[in-house]
């Protein structure tokens, strides 16, 4: 607990606690990151599940994957920074713990999807059941992570 409490005293946390403008900007960055991530990954997941068949996966995947990665990076950095404002309270918040668990599952799912030979074949149009299952998992894990994040403020 001392380590968590110590996070609340680092200069970045102090800045957010003392400046409403700084907190606003970091919070907005977190929301932007989430929007980029989910706004990019959900259409790709839907395409892998058979929606938008007129658009080749090879045309969508590179752009949407990169956009999702940018959003993920922004959301992770800004989210970690926001965490430092009240680390002890967040660590004891059930919704925050759910968010972290869902985030870990979503990240593992990304790793499985992008490292699989089946995904490489999906880019060429051969979408296997395994790729579809991971797309379906993504389609539920990312919105679940978002909902858990919104739930934090209500507990």
pLDDT, tens digit (0-9, with 9 covering 90-100), for 77-113: 999 999 999 999 999 999 999 999 999 999 999 999 9
Q: What is the pLDDT of residue 153?
A: 85
State the total domains in the chain: 1
Q: What is the pLDDT of residue 1?
A: 76
For residue 128, how many other CB atoms are within 10 A of its CB? 15
CA angle in degrees (0–180, nearest 5) for 8-10-14: 70
Q: Please, which residues have CB within 8 angstroms of residue 56's CB and are 6 or more apart in sequence? A: 125
Provide the residue range defining the domain that includes 15: 2-154
Within 3-85, strands assigned E span none
Of 153 and 47, the structure prediction assigns the larger pLDDT to 47
111 CB-contact burial (10 Å; exposed 0-12 / middle 13-18 / buried 19+): exposed
pTM above 0.75, yes or no: yes
């Amino acid at each position: 607990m001392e380590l968590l409490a110590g996070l609340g005293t680092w200069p970045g946390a102090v800045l957010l606690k003392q400046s409403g403008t700084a907190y606003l900007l970091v919070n907005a960055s977190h929301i932007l990151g989430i929007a980029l991530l989910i706004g990019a990954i959900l259409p790709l997941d839907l395409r892998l599940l058979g929606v938008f068949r007129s658009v080749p996966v090879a045309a969508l995947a590179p752009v949407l994957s990169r956009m999702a990665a940018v959003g993920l990076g922004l959301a992770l950095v800004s989210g970690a920074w926001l965490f430092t404002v009240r680390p002890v309270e967040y660590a004891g918040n059930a919704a925050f713990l759910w968010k972290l668990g869902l985030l870990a599952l979503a990240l593992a799912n990304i790793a499985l999807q992008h490292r699989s030979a089946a995904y490489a074949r999906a880019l060429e149009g051969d979408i296997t059941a395994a790729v579809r299952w991971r797309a379906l998992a993504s389609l539920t894990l990312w919105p679940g992570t978002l909902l858990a994040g919104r739930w934090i403020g209500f507990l």
